Chains A and B, each alone.
Chain A
Amino acid sequence: MKPALIPALFLLCALLFVLSLLIGPADVGGGDSLMALFRDDGPLTLVMREIRLPRSVLAVMVGASLGLAGAAIQGFLRNPLAEPGLIGVSGSAALGAVLALQTGLAASFVLALPLMALAGALVSVGLILVLAGPGGQSFGLILAGIAISALAGALTSLVLNLSPNPYAANEIMFWMMGSLADRSWLHVAIAAPVMAIGWMALAGTGHGLDALTLGEDAAASLGIALPRLRLRMIFGVAATVGAVTAVAGAIGFVGLVVPHLLRRAVGAQPSRLLPASALGGAAMILAADIAVRLVLPSRDLKLGVLTALVGAPVFLHLIWRERTKT
């Protein structure tokens, strides 16, 4: 592993973070807007502190969560095709979130939104791990993922269509494709605790995942308790992806592309891939969120559209490589 990888990714994130603070529909120079962050400058300060800053902070949190979850689940299943969005975890989390909103639960208890999303994600991760089997065979994994995604998507659409609220049906796109537009500190605050728990759960899996690269028997003989690792994995992925989806909608492919790009740089070692992937994911979402604001500033282009445009070719390439390998 190149020793400078983590600092380099960190620098990239920092640069993109500042850049993302400078972009928005209010037509103001970069210097002025950064100054307004620190001293009170009327409406511009409000725009910077209450609109752009939470959006950028949320982009970092969302990206890091998705990158981390992707790297972790790929390590656990030892399959580069596994990704929370593709295997239906994001879709199920979205269903949980929509249920929380439409039953009125989210209105009575603030954390109900991320917790219900976590519950939705939990069901699907559990199902996937059962259906895909111990070795995480690609075929079973992808098929189970397709079925779960389709079901969760259909139920989400149904719930939104049945809503008495005329705006609900228009939001199918947000829940399927994700967006960070007009998010506030409130969203940062409700996602942060659930995300943090997920991060902690996943951060501790590095050692186990390293051992698992040698095979399950070898890992067990190294003293890795597989059932515990599995539980930790299920909970960690569900918490991070659930919290992301609750506030930003389902954003796919980040957990696929980022580990794929970084795997060689960390010598294919899961414990090193986890932090690198978190930083890489943050950079990817920051970049995607900058792009949606530059390409179609007035139309709230969805983040998931951009990540899919980048991610789908990578996914197809991986399937192709897997096919030619056997």
Chain B
Amino acid sequence: MLLASPGQLVSVSALAADPMVSLMAQEAQAYQVNNGQAETLYLLDADLILAGTYSSQATVDMLRRLGMRVETIAPANSVAEIRSLIIQMGALLGTKDRADQVLARFDADLARLPAGDTTPLAATYEPNGYTTGRHTLAGDVMRLAGYALLTDRLGMDHGGTLPLEQLVMGHPDLIISGSRYDRSTRSEEILTHPVLAALQTRRTNVPDRDWICGLPHIARLAAELSAQR
């Protein structure tokens, strides 16, 4: 949506139009929303279908068998990967100039991030005790915003399940949690565990959609986190 020329994009996935997980849900309303199934996609008769590497392999194979051109795009796990993604998309869509503009603005935004003198300790904490490590987009953005990662101290480079006990013992300065959904579940109760209130750590919420996808908007989020330092 960011890089396509007007009229070039015919349809986006339902995920792109879901405001819980997509930053561009508003823009997505302008396009036909598809359910990601082979039948629907084939009938769109597009010249190019962009699939994620986590899309159903059966669907991708089916579409290729039917003679469609399907390109799979790996999700970005770092700011550097977002940069190469912008270049890759520009090439695929034939909109190199637009991609260059977006990239230049992204780089400028990143360059404006202030370099702090302190590096407070931060950790993301999600339902089921999930936390992100340095090899994830969230981890990269936090480091860019001037934080040290608790997961680095624990050797969890990719993140994973962090027991509540270890989070408390690590005593981070900032705990970042994600979106809250309707209807409570046991998985989410860990985020309201009384021990986190007793720990008196600063807490903040970053909606999942802000860093689930590698978009240049990340620079803005990094600036916000950096300001909270």
Residues of A within 8 A of B (CB): 24-26, 28, 42-44, 46-47, 50-52, 101-102, 104, 106-107, 163-168, 170-171, 174, 182, 184-186, 298, 300
Contacts and interface: CB of A to CB of B under 8 A. Distances in A.
Contacts of A28: 169
B95 to A, nearest CB: 33
The dominant DSSP class at the B interface is helix
Contacts of B127: 167
Interface of B: 127-129, 161, 163-166, 168-171, 181-190, 193-195, 198-199
Nearest to A101: B184
A107 B184 contact: yes
Given A101-B184, A165-B185, 11 more contacts: A24-B163, A24-B165, A26-B165, A44-B169, A46-B199, A50-B195, A51-B195, A163-B183, A165-B183, A167-B185, A168-B185
B165 A51 contact: yes
3 A-B pairs closest in CB distance:
A50-B195, A25-B163, A167-B187
Contacts of A106: 184
A25 B129 contact: no
Contact of B183 (A101, A186, A298): A101
A182 B189 contact: yes
A185 B194 CA distance: 8
Contacts of B163: 24-26, 298
Contact of A186 (B166, B184, B187, B194): B194
Contacts of B189: 182
Contact of B168 (A46, A164, A168, A170): A46
A47 B169 CA distance: 7
B158 to A, nearest CB: 14
B165 to A, nearest CB: 4
A298 B161 contact: yes
A224 to B, nearest CB: 42
Given A26-B168, A47-B168, A47-B169, A104 B195 contact: no
Nearest to B182: A164
For A28, A46, A51, which residue has the most chain B Cβ atoms within 10 angstroms? Answer: A46
A174 B183 CA distance: 17
A167 B165 contact: no
B169 A50 contact: no
B128 A167 contact: yes
B141 to A, nearest CB: 22
Contact of A182 (B169, B184, B190, B198): B190
Given A51-B168, A182-B193, A184-B193, A46 B183 contact: no
A167 B194 contact: no
B201 to A, nearest CB: 10
A25 B184 CA distance: 26
Nearest to A163: B183
Given A24-B163, A26-B166, A298-B161, A47 B195 contact: yes
Contacts of B171: 42-43
A25 B181 contact: no
B66 to A, nearest CB: 31
B183 A164 contact: yes
For A51, A163, A171, which residue has the most chain B Cβ atoms within 10 angstroms? Answer: A51
Contacts of B169: 26, 28, 43-44, 47
B193 to A, nearest CB: 5
Contacts of A184: 193-195
Nearest to A175: B186
Contacts of B187: 167, 170-171
A168 B183 contact: yes
B185 A101 contact: yes
A174 B128 CA distance: 12
